[in-house]
């Protein structure tokens, strides 16, 4: 059966090249079937009968058409989706070869509620179809209702599913859809951001409830809720007028460090409840700078501290290293990672970002001349590491410089002695020379 599915994918993608997304007649899917078995277990020393759910991945086709249409592939399970106001194909983006389709059974609860549509029954069978773009463009949850011709007596307590054989065709109606075009986001600090959440229902005036929650560091907080039945609204960030158009997107005015987390958009229309998790990560790339120019000239043995500062980055994890490589033609160009690098403590800035400095003390010899020193900084917010470099030129220390302080000292003493001797050599005027005549 697996080889059949691979062949099915090949035929599907070949056919999809020549048709638009709106013309898609069917999609290859996986049906994640489940069956509930009653088993006996020993609990606290006593035998008890418990329900055990077993899962099985089965090949299937999601086919769009009319009731009574023949399956496009009769060898595997076909979920025939008949025409309704909820058409998932309108929301496809990107190439069809990036679509993942998975079908599930869906529980509506122990107290069934009849869906307000023609032909619906209290004991309808429900399925969900998850359509996911592998490059993260969207995630769609599609609710499918199947009304059996005969009353459903196999599922009186919702603990046993109606069996589905390998070649069965399950005729369904798409009644509800919840989607997001932003399943995962990376955004900088102090940015305005919108988290997309849309829905569609097959009938007007549906009594619905929309909720947004934030899951962060093990805590769950409610951000917004709205009930069309009562008209009551709690929280902010979602337009009630937009909800009437099927848009329940949440707006974040300015992202902060505390904005990071998993946002959950939920849409409830009894007996269905659907939603999506949207992951929001704060990413702020570092600004990298050196405390020296692109060319540094030092005398042999002269001491210089060289700093590489990565500032304003988030999250905390950053990798910094200093590399040394020769610029001499013919020399090995493999850089050497310096082992004498020291790091400052992480500084937590007022805006929530961090700053870190990697530095070393440079006391070069003549052999270090002609080398390039590079600070390389890697961070999750960067596609490629940032590199900041300087070239080192080392000059030989002139020999007279060693004696310059001594020479200056001797000259200073000589001048002082000369002036002192001149002062003592000036004769004193005899008494009475300037007296009265």
Per-residue pLDDT tens for 224-264?
Answer: 999 999 999 999 999 999 999 999 999 999 999 999 999 99
pLDDT digits over 308-319, tens only?
999 999 999 999
Domain with CATH 2.60.40.10 in the chain: 2-111+121-282, 287-395
pLDDT of res. 20:
53
- 436 falls in which pLDDT band (50, 70, 90)? very low
Are 144 and 178 in contact by the 8 Å Cβ rule? The answer is no
pLDDT digits over 320-356, tens only?
999 999 887 766 668 899 999 999 999 999 988 999 9
pLDDT of res. 151:
59
pLDDT of res. 396:
87
In 66-197, DSSP assigns E strands to 77-82, 99-105, 125-133, 139-146, 169-180, 184-187, 193-195
CATH of domain 287-395: 2.60.40.10
Buried b (16+ CB within 10 A) or exposed e, 283-306: bbbbebebebeeebebeeeeeeeb
**Is pLDDT at 110 greater than 80 in this prediction?**
no
- 431 falls in which pLDDT band (50, 70, 90)? low
Kind plus residue range of the DSSP H or E element containing 309: strand 304-313
- 4 falls in which pLDDT band (50, 70, 90)? low
Buried b (16+ CB within 10 A) or exposed e, 102-135: bbbbbebeeebeebeeeeeeebbbbbbbbbbbee
Positive or negative, the Cα torsion across 148, 151, 153, 159? Answer: positive
**Is pLDDT at 186 greater than 90 in this prediction?**
yes
Q: Domain 2-111+121-282 sits in which CATH superfamily?
A: Immunoglobulins (2.60.40.10)
Using alpha carbons, select from 288, 293, 296 the residue that is nearest to residue 363.
296
Q: How far apart are alpha carbons 183 and 138 in whole angstroms?
A: 6
What's the mean pLDDT in 129-142?
Answer: 94
What's the mean pLDDT in 202-227?
Answer: 92
Are 305 and 296 in contact by the 8 Å Cβ rule? The answer is no
Using alpha carbons, select from 241, 129, 249, 237 the residue that is nearest to residue 198.
249
- The residue that leads in pLDDT, 54 or 358, is 358
Six-digit token string for 90: 């309108």
What's the mean pLDDT in 199-216?
Answer: 91
Q: How far apart are alpha carbons 130 and 101 in whole angstroms?
A: 6
pLDDT of res. 159:
53
- Round the average pLDDT of the chain to a whole number and report it: 84
């Amino acid at each position: 059966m697996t080889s059949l599915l691979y062949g099915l994918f090949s035929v599907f993608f070949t056919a999809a090249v020549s048709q638009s997304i709106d013309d898609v007649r069917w999609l290859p899917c996986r049906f994640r079937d489940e069956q509930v078995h009653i088993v006996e277990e020993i609990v606290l020393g006593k035998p008890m009968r418990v329900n055990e759910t077993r899962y099985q991945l089965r090949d299937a086709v999601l086919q769009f058409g009319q009731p009574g249409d023949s399956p496009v592939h009769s060898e595997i399970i076909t979920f025939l989706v008949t025409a309704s106001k909820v058409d998932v194909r309108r929301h496809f983006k990107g190439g069809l070869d990036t679509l993942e389709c998975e079908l599930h059974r869906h529980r509506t609860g122990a107290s069934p509620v009849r869906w307000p549509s023609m032909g619906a029954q209290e004991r309808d069978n429900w399925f969900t179809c998850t359509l996911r773009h592998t490059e993260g463009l969207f995630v769609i949850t599609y609710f499918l209702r199947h009304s059996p011709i005969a009353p459903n007596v196999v599922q009186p307590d919702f603990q046993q599913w109606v069996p589905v054989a390998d070649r069965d065709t399950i005729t369904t109606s798409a009644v509800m859809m919840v989607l997001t075009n932003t399943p995962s986001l990376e955004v900088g600090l102090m940015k305005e951001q919108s988290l997309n959440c849309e829905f569609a229902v097959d009938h007007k005036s549906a009594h619905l409830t929309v909720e947004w929650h934030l899951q962060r560091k093990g805590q769950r907080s409610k951000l917004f809720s709205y009930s069309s039945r009562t008209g009551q609204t709690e929280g902010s960030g979602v337009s009630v007028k937009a909800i009437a158009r099927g848009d329940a997107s949440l707006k974040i005015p300015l992202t902060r460090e505390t904005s990071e987390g998993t946002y959950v958009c939920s849409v409830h229309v009894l007996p269905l409840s659907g939603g999506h998790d949207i992951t929001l990560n704060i990413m702020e790339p570092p600004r990298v700078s050196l405390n020296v120019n692109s060319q540094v000239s030092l005398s042999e043995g002269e001491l210089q501290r060289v700093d590489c500062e990565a500032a304003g980055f988030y999250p905390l994890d950053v990798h910094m290293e200093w590399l040394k490589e020769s610029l001499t033609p013919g020399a090995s160009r493999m850089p050497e990672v310096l082992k004498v690098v020291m790091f400052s403590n992480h500084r937590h800035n007022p805006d929530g970002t961090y700053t870190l400095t990697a530095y070393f003390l440079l006391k070069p010899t003549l052999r270090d001349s002609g080398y390039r020193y590079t600070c390389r900084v890697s961070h999750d917010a960067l596609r490629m590491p940032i590199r900041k470099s300087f070239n080192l030129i080392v000059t030989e220390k002139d020999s007279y410089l060693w004696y310059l302080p001594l020479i200056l000292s001797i000259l200073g003493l000589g001048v002082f002695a000369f002036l002192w001797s001149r002062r003592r050599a000036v004769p004193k005027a005899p008494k009475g020379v300037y007296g009265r005549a």
